Amino acid sequence: MTEDEKLHEEAEEIRKETAGGAPEVAEHDRLAELEKQLDEAKSKALYAAAETQNVRRRLEAEKDQASSYAAAGFARDMLAIKDHLDRALAAVSDELRADNTAAQFLAGIEATSRELDAVFQRNGVTRIKSVGEALDPHRHQAMVEMPSDQEPGTIVEEMQPGYMMKDRLLRPALVAVAKKPD
């Protein structure tokens, strides 16, 4: 025990002996105890208010995120339809496009594809840029390396487009990446 602690303890004992019957000391002690309890209650109330505010902010952020990305599963499913439409249009030869009956049928498929693009755009679904870009493992999935004159790690071919919904990845782009020629 330090010297200061000994002196403090002695002073407390003397105080108890000499002021034991004094009502003003008892009143002072009671007031000090009540002030201490009040300070503790204030501290607990402030802590509870801060905790409530933090919970409210967290719930609002979770609600905003849930509503922003609620359609992510649906959008991911719609990407397969977009892929099928794009493959169907890419497979059509110039000869078939020249045929009048086929041209009308193709115009309907192209209109459906454009409408799907518009729906994606309205809902924050965007196609990831790939060819000519540096490989980004957060947005691209490298499937093969191809000898190329381009800088190694540059995307030279896109096998399947990737899509983002706002700032969240729906599907990575499947790509071929440049490597130094053999």
Which of 66, 84, 108 marks a domain boundary?
66
Same domain, 55 and 106: no
Tell me the mean pLDDT per 10 residues along the chain, length 182.
83 70 72 91 94 94 80 88 91 87 89 94 93 94 92 93 92 94 78
* Count: domains in the chain: 2
Amino acid at 136: D
What pLDDT does residue 41 have? 93
Query: Based on the domain organization, do 114 and 56 belong to the same domain?
Result: no
pLDDT at residue 114, rounded to an integer: 94
Residues 89 and 7 in one domain: no
Q: Are residues 99 and 139 both part of a single domain?
A: yes
Residues 48 and 84 in one domain: no
Specify the pLDDT at position 25.
67
- Mark whether 86 and 58 lie in a shared domain: no
> Any long-range contacts for 125-130 (C-beta under 8 Å, 24+ apart)?
125/75, 125/163, 125/164, 125/165, 125/170, 126/163, 126/164, 127/161, 127/162, 127/163, 128/161, 128/162, 128/163, 128/164, 128/172, 128/173, 130/155, 130/158, 130/161, 130/162, 130/173, 130/175
Last residue of a domain, one of 49, 66, 83: 66
Q: Which residues form the domain of 58? A: 3-66
Residues 115 and 161 in one domain: yes
Which of 28, 46, 66 is at the close of a domain? 66
Q: What is the CATH number of the domain that holds 148?
A: 2.30.22.10
The overall longest dimension of the chain from CA atoms, in Å, is 116
The model's pTM: 0.62
* Cα Rg, the chain, nearest whole Å: 36
49 shares its domain with 86? no
- Does one domain contain both 80 and 162? yes
At 160 the pLDDT is: 94
Q: Tell me: do 85 and 175 sit in the same domain.
A: yes
Say what the pLDDT of residue 110 is.
93
The pLDDT value recorded for residue 18 is 66
Say whether both 20 and 78 belong to one domain: no
Same structural domain for residues 98 and 170? yes
Task: Please report the pLDDT score of residue 20 as a whole number.
Answer: 58
Residue 158, classed as helix, strand or coil, is strand
